[in-house]
Structure 1
C-alpha cells in the first residue's frame, strides 16, 4: 500500500521570478507550471488547471420598520470574461475507482506545464472595490482516491490598456465659473474661478499641471484648492451604487477681499491608482479633477474636469506636441501672443551631417530590406521641403503654360 504524502502544491507563472508581478491583457498568452512535491509514492486520479476571470458586484440594503427589519434586499451581478480548463494528469474528475485510472507520482518534485491564451476582447482591468471586484486567477486541483482534493490559486493581473496618446485624451480641459455671496439684503462682490489643464489623459506617477485664476471680490477670506477624486460605480438589478474617494489634493494661499491668485502650472501628483474602467457593464472607475474655492460658511465654488487614468504613458512626440498645443492654448487663455515658427532655412541640415547619417544606416543590422528602408528614410527626412512654385511640374498638354514664376534655388 502506498503511503506517500503531498508535501507542496503550487502554481508558478512564467515571468513571476521577477520582482514585479507579470501583467497581461486581452489576447496575451499565459504559461506556467504546476509544481507537486511528494514524499513517497502517491496515487493521483487527476490534476486539473482552471483559469477564470469574473467581474462581480454585491451589496445589501435593508429597510427598517420601527424596531424590526422589514426586509433585506441583496443586489448581485456577475460578468464572466475568462473560462479555461485543462487536465494535466489522468482523466478530469474521473469517479471510477479502477486502478487503471490512477497515476503514481514517485517521491520528489514534479512539474507540469500549462498554457492558454486570454480572449481576444476588451477585458476589464483587475480591480478591488467596496461593493465589487474584477479578479482573474489560475487554480490547480489535485484529486486523489478517498481523499479531499488539494487546491491552490494564483492571481493573474490583467490590464485593459488605455493609450493616452489619442487626440481625445490629449485635448486640454478648461472651464470657468462665478459666484456671488448674499447675506440677507447685503450682497458682496462675486468670486470668479477659471482653470485649465494640459490634457485629459494621465498615467499614475505623473503630475497634473494646473493653470488657474481666482479673484475674490467678496467680503470673506477664501482659499483656492484642488482635489483628485476616484468614483466607483457598481450596477446590479437595474440599480447603481456609487463610492467617491479622495486620491490626492493641494491648497493655495488664503485670498483676502479684493485680491486675486494665479496658479502657473501648480503640480498635483497622481499616486499609484487603478486605471480607469470604462467598458465593464457592471463596474465603472472614473476620475475627476475638482478645482474649487473654499468659502467659509458658504457653498464652495467648484469646477469639475474629467480625467482618464491610462496604462500607456505619453510618448515623446506626443509630449512635445501636447506641450506646444498647451503652451499656445495657455498663451491665448492668458492673453499672450505666441512667437512665430522658425523658417525652413533654419531647419536645413548640412550635407556632411546627412552623409554621416546615411553611412550609419548602411551599417545597420536587419538585412538588406531594412537597411535600404532606413537609408531611404535618413536620406529624405533631413532635406528641406521644396520651394514653392506656381507652375505645375506635370502640366496638361492641352493647357496654355503660364510664365515661370518659380524663385531660383
Structure 2
C-alpha cells in the first residue's frame, strides 16, 4: 500500500483569474502512514505553443512540408512547503498557498494550431521519488491597455451596397447596414447590434446570418530559423434570423450575443508574441435566387482592463487589425 493515499488541489469552483491577480488555494495531502523527509510543493506553470505545416513551394522542394513552430514560457513559480521535524504523520494535512500572476499574460486559448495553457501541479516526494501528484488547469483572462488613438464615432454604422441580377435580365440593389452603440467590449459582455436590410429587388429575402469571427495570426519559425506567419479564422458565435423581407421594403433586426467569459484580447504583433487576435462581426444576407450574398463587416475590439492599469495605449505600428470593407461613421441614427 502506498504511503500517500491522495493529493488534491482545492480552488474556487469555475474561477477565472485575471492577469495580475492572485491565485489562492490549498493542497490537501492524505497519508496512509508516516512519511519521513517529505517534499510537498505546488507549481504554477503557464506556456504557449504553436505549430503548423507549410509547403515550401515549387521553386524549392515541393515534395515536403516545412513545420513551423514557436513556443513561449509565461510563468513558472514554485512553492515548497516547510515540514516541521521533517516528517508527516498518517492522516490529512493541509497546506495553504498563493501565487501572484504576472500583469502581462495572454488568455487561456486552444485551437488546431496552438494553445496557451496554465495549470497548478501539486506533488509529494519522498527520498527523491515522486509518490503522488495532481494537476489542475486554470482559466486565465489576459489584459490589455488597448485604446484607439482616434476612436470610432459613436454610434457606429457600417454599410455595404450591392447590385444583384436575377430572372435573367432583372437587376436590383441590396443595402445592408450594421448599427452599434460601440465596438469595444470585454469578455462576458453582451453585444447588441441592429442589422438593417433595404431590399430594392422584386424578390423576397428570407435569411440573415450574423456571426462573430476570430482571426488569429500565428508567428513561428522554420527549422532554418526563418520567421513565418499564418492567419486562421474561426466562427465563435452565430445567429440565423428567418425573416420575410418583402420586395422594395426595409427591415431592421435587433440581435445580441453574449461573449465568452474568457477571450484573447485584441492584440498587436509589434511585441512578437506567438499569436495575436482580432475580431469581426459579419452580417450576411443570402440570396439563393441570384446565387449571391451581401456582407457587412464591423471590426470588434476585445479588451480587459489590467489590475492597477495606467491606461497607456498600445503601440500603433505593427498592429494586426480587422478592417471593414466599407465603413460609415454615422452620428445621426
Find the counterpart in structure 1 of residue 225 from structure 2. Answer: none
Find the counterpart in structure 2 of residue 267 from structure 1. Answer: 255
Among 288, 294, 298, which residue is 1:301 paired with? 294
Name the count of aligned residue pairs: 292
Long gaps (5+) in structure 1: 91-101, 313-328, 334-409
Long gaps (5+) in structure 2: 222-227, 306-328
Per-residue deviation at 1:206?
A: 1.9
State the alpha-carbon separation in 1 of the partners of residues 143 and 153 from structure 2: 16
State the alpha-carbon separation in 2 of the partners of residues 276 and 246 from structure 1: 12
2:245 equivalent to 1:255? yes
Per-residue deviation at 1:155?
A: 2.3
1:7-406 residue pairs with structure 2 within 5 A? Answer: 7-13=5-11, 16=12, 20-60=13-53, 70-89=63-82, 103-119=86-102, 121-145=103-127, 147-161=129-143, 168=151, 171-182=154-165, 186=169, 188-203=171-186, 204=188, 206-212=190-196, 214-223=197-206, 225-233=208-216, 234-237=218-221, 238-257=228-247, 259-263=248-252, 266-270=254-258, 272=260, 274-279=262-267, 281-296=273-288, 297-310=290-303, 332-333=332-333
TM-score (normalised: structure 1) = 0.61
Deviations 1:235-280 (A, max 9, x none): 32222140321512132523344x22221x6122325353242237
| Residue 164 to residue 74, structure 1, CA distance change in 2 (3 Å) | closer
Larger radius of gyration: 1
Contact kept? 1:228, 1:287, Cα under 8 Å? no
TM-score (normalised: structure 2) = 0.73
Contact kept? 2:40, 2:125, Cα under 8 Å? yes
Of 167-176 and 299-308, more deviation after overlay is shown by 167-176
2:4 equivalent to 1:6? yes
Per-residue deviation at 1:139?
A: 1.3
State the alpha-carbon separation in 2 of the partners of residues 239 and 208 from structure 1: 33
State the alpha-carbon separation in 2 of the partners of residues 118 and 194 from structure 1: 42
State the alpha-carbon separation in 2 of the partners of residues 164 and 60 from structure 1: 32
State the alpha-carbon separation in 2 of the partners of residues 45 and 266 from structure 1: 62
Contact kept? 1:52, 1:138, Cα under 8 Å? yes
Per-residue deviation at 1:45?
A: 4.4
| Residue 86 to residue 269, structure 1, CA distance change in 2 (3 Å) | closer
2:332 is paired with a residue of what secondary structure?
Answer: helix
Contact kept? 1:180, 1:187, Cα under 8 Å? no
Higher relative contact order (CA 8 A, sep 6+): 2
1:332 is paired with a residue of what secondary structure?
Answer: coil
State the alpha-carbon separation in 1 of the partners of residues 132 and 258 from structure 2: 42
Per-residue deviation at 1:81?
A: 1.6
Please state which structure has a larger fraction of its residues in strand: 2
